[in-house]
Amino acid sequence: MYELTAENVVAWLRETGHLAADEPATAEWLAWGVSNVVLRITRPATDDIVLKQSRARLRTEVEWISRLDRIWREAELMRELGGRLPAGTVPQVLFEDRDNYAFAMQAISADHVVWKAELLAGTADSAIARQAGELLGTLHQSTFGDSAAARKWGDREVFEQLRVDPFYHHVARVHPQLEPAISRMVAEMDQRQDCVVHADFSPKNLLITGPLPAALSGQSVRLVNSGDTGESARQLALVDWETGHYGDPAFDLGFFLSHLLLKAVLHAPQHEPVLVLVREFLRSYATARGAEQDILFRRSLLHLAGCMLSRIDGTSTIDYLPQPGRRDVVRRFTFSLLLEPAATMDEALGRLVDGLEESSAELQ
């Protein structure tokens, strides 16, 4: 496999016939996670593209290996599911290079914002949370009970390599007292074949196009609603489908919500705007599914706990909660959910708020 970089990719595109010899182009690295090389190719004469190439060893301190051909699952899911989701949500796949484990896709507008960056900066846009809920709910509902999709995407080896082992099994090794609860959760997940699961549905992979209205900017941690006068001009695109498979939607919900609640811990004591996003997301998700989802939401709380704890004590940890006091809040909260499961989402959120308030002195 020829390893692509920002320095050699333009020449490679010309050599392989994907770029004319006289067409100007430049390349830059994109920070889309730890598992692949992602490059944006700017072409002044036409539309930009993004090129993605698989890597066997992920860029983490702890060794983390996954099979190279996971990238073909990603390209296939993007091609086949793009038509089931809101227009513009999934970038179009343009070409594949099987020898080099790479594919190219349509580029999102260069002035896009990664939702994670906006959340870290303290902007909580409820319209974007509603879009995210609708998007995930539509993905789950449109593939629910689809036997053809189950046969095609039922293999979970990459999901095991990139999620179950480095998240759940690693945490169980670090905290042996949690092993029985985590094992039960994983066993139940393994038995479910409900719908397509993205398995990397997080603010890092949700890209926002369209500006935040100027009137909504300028505060510290702030709740805004870019759609308060109608449909928001801001739109989401979803990337990074390589862990996609047919399985348990509770994982997607728990995984996503863990990211929001980590931002709530980051911004405490100004955590309430982020909790509003959680509630807006869940309402929109349930609407897209067409029915109440209380049982699913309750099951997702275990995954929320496992995923949230894994970002503190797992293989791939976050860098924005360095304070021991905040990390301990996460540990106490997630331990409580795993050892004494909450009956409802509201109960779980209440536990987090209580934990933040009880630890307020440690969070200064």
Task: Return the CATH fold of 9-106.
Answer: Phosphorylase Kinase; domain 1 (3.30.200)
156 in Cβ contact with 106 (< 8 Å): no
Average pLDDT over residues 11-32: 91
With bands split at pLDDT 50, 70 and 90, how would you rate the model's confidence at 62? low
> Whole-angstrom Cα distance, residue 360 to residue 364?
7
Closest by Cα among 234, 243, 252, 232 to 139: 252
Predicted local distance difference test score (pLDDT) of residue 231:
57
Q: State the pTM of this model.
A: 0.93
**Do 198 and 249 contact (CB within 8 A), yes or no?**
no
Where, residue-wise, is CATH 3.30.200.20 in the chain?
9-106
Residues of the chain with CATH 3.90.1200.10: 113-363
- 3-class DSSP assignment, residue 42: strand
Q: What is the pLDDT of residues 95-142, one digit of tens each?
A: 999 999 999 999 999 999 999 999 999 999 999 999 999 999 999 999
Phi, psi of 290 (to 5 degrees): 85, 10
DSSP 86-139: -TTSSPPEEEEEGGGTEEEEEPP-TT-EEHHHHHHHTEEEHHHHHHHHHHHHHH
CA distances 198 to 63, 78, 193, 205, 280, Å, are 24, 11, 13, 11, 20
* Matching CATH number, 113-363, of 3.40.50.1370, 2.60.40.10, 3.20.20.70, 3.90.1200.10: 3.90.1200.10
The per-residue pLDDT for range 270-322, each reduced to its tens digit, is 999 999 999 999 999 999 999 889 999 999 999 999 999 999 998 889 999 99
